A and B are shown apart, each in its own frame.
Chain A
Amino acid sequence: MIKKETELLDEIKSKYKLEGKIQKERRICISITKNNLIAILKELKNLGFIHLSSISVTDWLDEGNYEITYHLWSYDDKILFTVKTKISRDKPEIQSVTPIWEENAQIHERELHELFGVNFKNNTDLSPLFLEDWDGPPPFRKDFNWREYVKENYYDINNKRETVYYD
C-alpha cells in the first residue's frame, strides 16, 4: 500500500518545509527544526495517528547535541511515522507534548528528565521516578563512564574475587 504512504507524506510536505522519505512498507521518517514541532504533531494527530509508541533521546557527544525521536502509530491506516529533531546539549529544553497525548506522553517525559536531564516545559509532574537520593550528573549521558565510577567507589584491589576488574 505504497499509495497511502505517499499521499500522507505529500500532504505534510505541502504545508511545511521539511525533508522526509519512505524507508519501506509502513515506515515513514521526517526530520524537522524545533520551532514548528507542536503544530506538526497536532496536524498528525488529526490525520489519525492517535497512539504514541515511545519518545527517545540519543546523545551525540562529538556534534554536541541531543536528538529526540517520536514514534507514532495509526490504527486505521496501519503506518508508523517517525519524527526527529535536534536540541543543544548544554542547556536542553523543549516544549512538552502533554497537551496533545496527555498521560501517555507525561510518563515518557518524566523518565527522560531524570536520566538525561532534559527540561520539558508545560509538564506538570517531573518528579524522580527510579532513583532515590541521587545528586550526581544525569546517569545515561555519554561522558559518565559507569565502569570507572564503580571501580573508584566500590571495588577493592585486595579482595581476591575482584582482581579481574583491574586489568
Chain B
Amino acid sequence: MTKIQVLGTGCPKCKKLADAAESAAKAAGIDYTIEKVTDINDIMAFGVMMTPALVIDGEVKTVGKVPPVEEIQKMLA
C-alpha cells in the first residue's frame, strides 16, 4: 500500500496537487491511501517550508509546485 500525503494548508494549488496525485495513483493502478496534511506544524515536521508538497511513503518528492500527473505517476512507479 503506497501512502501519499499532500502537504498544504488548503490553498487552490494544494487542492490541485491532491487531485493530481489522486489521478496519478488511479492511472498507475496501485493500492494507495491519500492524506491531506493541513496542520502547519505537521507540515514543517517534514522539513517543508513551502507548499504544496507531495510526500510518497514518507519521502518528500516535490515542494512548492504542482507537477504534471505523468510525473507523479513516475514517482509512484
Q: Are A and B part of the same complex? A: no
Q: Which residues of A contact B (CB under 8 A)?
A: none
Q: Which residues of B contact A (CB under 8 A)?
A: none
